[in-house]
């Protein structure tokens, strides 16, 4: 391990190997860190991807509806519901879902522990509770943003003009309200992917999901510093790249913004 | 009168005037918060939790950390009149543990948020007002901190801090919350002070040749205070969630001190036989954060600021 060398020297050699794609060997288990992360990264990506695909469209639709018809019965219901889910940490949502769906109803498995030879693909039912947990937390957040932005645009002069001109409501919403309300909503969502990454770590830990987040917690528990360093670097780089992608997407959505 | 005495007298009178000022600020805060319904409800819930955090240890019906053969006879008992929230896997009264657990999470979050707001205000106002290379350097440093998801940053700092420094874990968490929240706070406060900077009274003070600290604390700070207040209540809810998550992951206050996050984590094992062990602290946690969020909403509505929710 070269513990006789200076820490800076060791760090430089580690980072030199890391950029060439070699994260070294975990001193605790003796296994290759590349292999450990490589096995778990697709699982995390799958969980994040499905959760995103489920949560974003549904919560955007609900938020837009609540913004167009504020103070309707559905809006009240959604507002109270979203206040509840935004106010409890992910692990409590997870534990409550676990209590209802696996302890009481017995429909779904409460943890994701895999027997040898099993993969996520061969047991897709283990994904349901983690996805529901992330969705529950994301839903409230996106809903509140979408609702606030749609309400703001609905009060603008150009929407009032469009309504008074006699354009059907459907068209006003599709052509005038949505393009203007969605851009700030999407930016704020994209800029907060980091929150989702943190949530992902907790959710993976709650359900013992074999992803990078639970590997990070395992590294902390076993004081495996090299594994911790590597997993943290992987999570932070994925995060940095998704932020970059969000910034570029913003430029595409809004032609007024150009990076030059 | 000796000079020492006179110094002591002036300092005590300064202290009294500061306390009076603090109390009147607090009263002003309460009156702003209670202008809206959600603010009133939020204030009520938050005050109950604060009272529990301060006086909770006097009213717990049983010892929250009792550990003995007598307790072990009453393991995982359901809610009864003697134990309204049941008992946990060591036979300890869950209600007492929930009440006693308010202390650590409330104090850690409040002091951590205050630290984060303080650091963010100092960095935000000075770099917003001074501009130039100081602004560039400090904001790039904040960007660097922001390139970590805040939970990941907190986990890394706590692990390194626990390894390197011999320090009480509550203080470690407080410092970590302060550092993790500094970049976002400083960004918000910087942009608020940028809007104040070109106004006449600031330029006037500059032309009068007032020193930097006077312009920053007397001219700019009072005008960005509403922004700081809203930011602080919002941050407080994030700090509570972060502290609870750290506790749940086993990196919070160490046992036997009761910690809501850790109690939920321990309760997972007995979820089907004794759901009250995990649900009671979860309920306490949820009600506290709902209270803080309602309070933040109420203040925002009362000050008529737009809804901004960023991590």
Give B119's pLDDT tier (boundaries 50, 70, 90): very high
Show residues of chain A in contact with B275, CB under 8 Å.
99, 103
Count of CB atoms within 10 A of residue B60's CB? 17
Residue among B144, B145, B176 nearest B249 (CA): B176
- Say if the Cβ atoms of B271 and A98 lie within 8 Å: yes
**Does residue A23 contact residue A37 with C-beta atoms inside 8 Å?**
yes
Q: How far is A16 from chain B (nearest CA, A)?
A: 21
Residue B114's pLDDT is 92
CA distance B57 to B49: 13
Q: How far apart are CA B53 and CA B59, in angstroms?
A: 11
User: Looking at CA atoms only, how far is residue B81 from chain A in angstroms?
Assistant: 24
- Given this model, what pLDDT does residue B214 score? 86
Please indicate whether, in this complex, the C-beta atoms of A88 and B285 are within 8 angstroms of each other: yes
Looking at residue B168, its pLDDT comes to 79
User: Would you say the pTM of this structure is higher than 0.90?
Assistant: no
Output the pLDDT for position B73: 66
Strand spans (E) along A16-165: none
B306 touching A (Cβ < 8 Å) = yes
| pLDDT tops 90 at residue B115 | yes
pLDDT of B68: 64
Quickly state the pLDDT bin for B112 (edges 50, 70, 90).
Answer: very high
B76: left (phi over 0), alpha (psi -120 to 50) or beta: left
Q: What is the mean pLDDT of the segment spanning A223-244?
A: 83
Reported confidence tier of residue B116, pLDDT bands at 50, 70, 90: very high
- The b-or-e profile of A86-101 (16+ CB within 10 A means b, else e) is bbbbbbbbbbbbbbeb
Residues of A in contact with B249 (CB under 8 A): 202, 205, 217, 220
Chain B residues with CB under 8 Å of A198 CB are 149-152, 245
What does the pLDDT average to over A6-19? 80
B251, A220: Cβ pair inside 8 Å?
A: yes
Which band of pLDDT confidence, cut at 50, 70 and 90, is reported for residue B304? Answer: low
CATH 1.10.10.10 fits A38-259, yes or no: no
pLDDT digits (tens, 9 = 90+) for A180-217: 787 777 777 766 666 677 788 888 888 888 888 888 88
Contact B155 A98 (CB under 8 A): no
To the nearest whole Å, the CA of B153 is away from the closest chain A CA by 9
Residue A213: predicted pLDDT: 85
Q: Do B261 and A91 touch (CB under 8 A)?
A: yes
Residue B309's pLDDT band (cuts 50, 70, 90): very low
B208, pLDDT greater than 80: yes
Q: How confident is the model at residue A166 (pLDDT cuts 50, 70, 90)?
A: confident
Cβ of B222 under 8 Å from any chain A Cβ?
no
- Closest chain B residue to A222, measured at CA: B159
Counted across chains A and B, CB pairs separated by less than 8 A come out at: 123
Dig out the tokens for B220 from the structure: 């700019």
Q: What is the mean pLDDT of chain B?
A: 79
**For A116-163, how does the pLDDT look when each residue is reduced to its tens digit (9 = 90+)?**
566 666 666 777 888 888 888 788 888 888 888 888 888 888 888 888
Domains of chain B and CATH, by start: 20-303 (1.10.3720.10)
- Say whether B267 and A95 touch across the interface (CB within 8 A): yes
CB–CB contact B282 A95 (8 Å): yes
Q: What is the mean pLDDT of residues B109-122?
A: 91
A26 to each of A112, A122, A152, A230, B160, how far by Cα in Å? 24, 29, 53, 10, 18
Which among B149, B249, B307 has the least Cβ separation from residue A194? B149
Location of structure tokens 């006699």? A166
Mutate to test the interface with B, among A76, A88, A103, A239 (most CBs of B within 10 A): A88
Q: Which of left, alpha, beta for A140 (phi over 0: left; psi -120 to 50: alpha)?
A: alpha
Least confident of A7-21, A147-161, B74-88, B99-113: B74-88
Q: Is B211 exposed, middle or buried (0-12, 13-18, 19+ CB in 10 A)?
A: exposed
Identify which of A95, A197, A232 has the shortest CB distance to residue B264.
A95
Kindly report, residue by residue over B63-76, the tens digit of the pLDDT.
766 666 666 666 66
Please name the member of B159, B271, B272 whose beta carbon is closest to the beta carbon of A220. B159
Per the CB < 8 Å rule, is B149 touching A236? Answer: yes
**Bigger pLDDT: B222 vs A186:** B222
Residue B18 has pLDDT above 60, yes or no: no
Rg (CA), chain B: 23
Q: What pLDDT score does B113 carry? A: 92
Per-residue pLDDT, averaged over A35-59, amounts to 84
pLDDT at A82 over 90: no
* Chain B residue numbers touching A104 (CB-CB < 8 A): 272
In the three-class reduction of DSSP (H, G, I as helix; E, B as strand; rest coil), residue A164 is classed as: helix
- The predicted pLDDT at position B310 comes to 41
Residues 160 through 189 of chain B touching chain A, CB cutoff 8 Å:
163
Per cent of chain B over pLDDT 90 is 4
Model confidence at A72, pLDDT cuts 50, 70, 90, reads confident
Look at residue B87 and give its three-state secondary structure: strand
- Mapping DSSP to helix (H, G, I), strand (E, B) and coil, where does residue A32 land? strand
The per-residue pLDDT for range A240-259, each reduced to its tens digit, is 887 787 777 777 766 666 65
| Minimum CA–CA partner of A102 in chain B | B272
H or E element that contains A141? helix A128-154
Do residues A223 and A26 lie in contact, with contact meaning Cβ atoms separated by under 8 Å? no
* Cβ-defined contact of B306 to A148 (cutoff 8 Å): yes
Residue A239 pLDDT: 83
**Residues of A engaging B, defined by a Cβ cutoff of 8 Å:** 83-84, 86-92, 95-96, 98-99, 103-104, 110, 141, 144-145, 148, 152, 188, 191-192, 194-195, 197-199, 201-202, 205-206, 216-217, 220-221, 223, 228, 232, 235-236, 239-240, 243
Is B56 at the interface with chain A, CB within 8 A?
A: no
Residues of chain B with C-beta less than 8 angstroms from the C-beta of A92: 244, 264, 282, 285-286
Q: Between A87, A90, A217, which is nearest B289 by CB?
A: A87
Structure tokens at A259: 């990076």
How many whole angstroms separate alpha carbon A238 and alpha carbon A127? Answer: 21
In chain A, where the domains are located: 38-259
- Locate the chain A residue with the closest alpha carbon to B145: A236
If you ran DSSP here, which 8-state letter would residue A204 be given? H
Alpha-carbon distance of B252 to B237, in angstroms, equals 17
pLDDT score for B298: 82
User: In this predicted model, which residue has the larger pLDDT, A2 or A215?
Assistant: A215
Which residues of B fall within a CB distance of 8 Å from A103?
A: 271-272, 275
Nearest CA in chain A to B154: A198
């Amino acid at each position: 391990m070269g513990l006789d060398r200076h820490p800076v020297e060791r760090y430089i050699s580690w980072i030199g190997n890391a950029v060439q794609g070699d994260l070294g060997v975990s001193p605790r288990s003796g296994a290759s860190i590349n292999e450990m992360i490589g096995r778990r990264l697709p699982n995390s990506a799958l969980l994040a991807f499905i959760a995103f695909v489920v949560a974003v469209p549904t919560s955007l639709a609900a938020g837009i509806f609540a913004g167009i018809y504020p103070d309707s019965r559905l809006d009240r219901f959604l507002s109270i519901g979203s206040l509840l889910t935004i106010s409890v940490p992910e692990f409590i949502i997870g534990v409550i879902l676990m209590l209802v769906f696996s302890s009481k109803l017995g429909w779904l498995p409460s943890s994701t522990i895999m027997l040898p030879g099993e993969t996520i693909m061969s047991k897709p039912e283990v994904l349901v509770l983690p996805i529901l947990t992330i969705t529950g937390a994301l839903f409230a957040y996106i809903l509140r943003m979408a609702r606030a932005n749609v309400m703001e645009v609905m009060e603008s002069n150009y929407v009032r003009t469009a309504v008074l001109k006699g354009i059907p409501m459907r068209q006003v919403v599709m052509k005038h309200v949505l393009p203007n309300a969605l851009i700030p909503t999407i930016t704020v969502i994209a800029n907060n992917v980091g929150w989702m990454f943190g949530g992902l770590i907790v959710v993976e830990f709650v359900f013992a999901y074999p992803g990078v987040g639970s590997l990070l917690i395992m590294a902390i528990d076993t004081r495996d510093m090299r594994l911790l360093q590597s997993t943290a670097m992987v999570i932070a780089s994925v995060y940095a790249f998704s932020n970059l992608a969000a910034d570029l997407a913003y430029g595409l959505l809004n032609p007024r913004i150009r990076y030059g | 009168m000796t000079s020492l005495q006179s110094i002591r007298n002036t300092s005590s009178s300064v202290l009294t005037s500061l306390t009076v000022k603090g109390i009147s600020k607090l009263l002003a805060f309460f009156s702003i918060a209670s202008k809206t319904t959600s603010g009133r409800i939020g204030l009520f819930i938050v005050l109950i939790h604060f009272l529990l955090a301060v006086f909770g240890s006097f009213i717990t019906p049983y010892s929250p950390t009792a550990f003995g053969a007598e307790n072990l006879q009453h393991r995982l008992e359901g809610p009864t009149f003697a134990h309204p929230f049941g008992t946990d896997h060591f036979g300890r009264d869950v209600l007492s543990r929930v009440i006693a657990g308010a202390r650590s999470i409330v104090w850690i979050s409040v002091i951590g948020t205050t630290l984060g707001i303080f650091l963010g205000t100092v960095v935000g106002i000075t770099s917003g007002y001074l501009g130039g290379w100081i602004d560039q350097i400090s904001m790039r440093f904040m960007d660097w901190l922001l390139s970590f998801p805040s939970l990941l940053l907190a986990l890394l700092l706590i692990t390194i801090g626990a390894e390197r420094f011999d320090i009480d874990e509550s203080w470690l968490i407080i410092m970590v919350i302060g550092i993790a929240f500094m970049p976002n706070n400083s960004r918000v406060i910087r942009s608020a002070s940028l809007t104040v900077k070109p106004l006449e009274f600031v330029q006037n003070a500059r032309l009068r040749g007032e020193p930097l600290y006077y312009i920053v604390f007397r001219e700019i700070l009072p005008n960005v205070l509403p922004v700081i207040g809203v930011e602080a209540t919002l941050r407080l809810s994030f700090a509570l969630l972060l502290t609870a998550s750290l506790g749940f992951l086993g990196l919070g206050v160490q046992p036997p001190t009761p910690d809501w996050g850790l109690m939920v984590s321990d309760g997972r094992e007995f979820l089907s036989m004794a759901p009250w062990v995990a649900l009671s602290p979860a309920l306490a946690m949820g009600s506290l954060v709902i209270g803080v969020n309602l309070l933040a909403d109420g203040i925002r509505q009362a000050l008529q600021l737009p809804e901004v929710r960023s991590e």
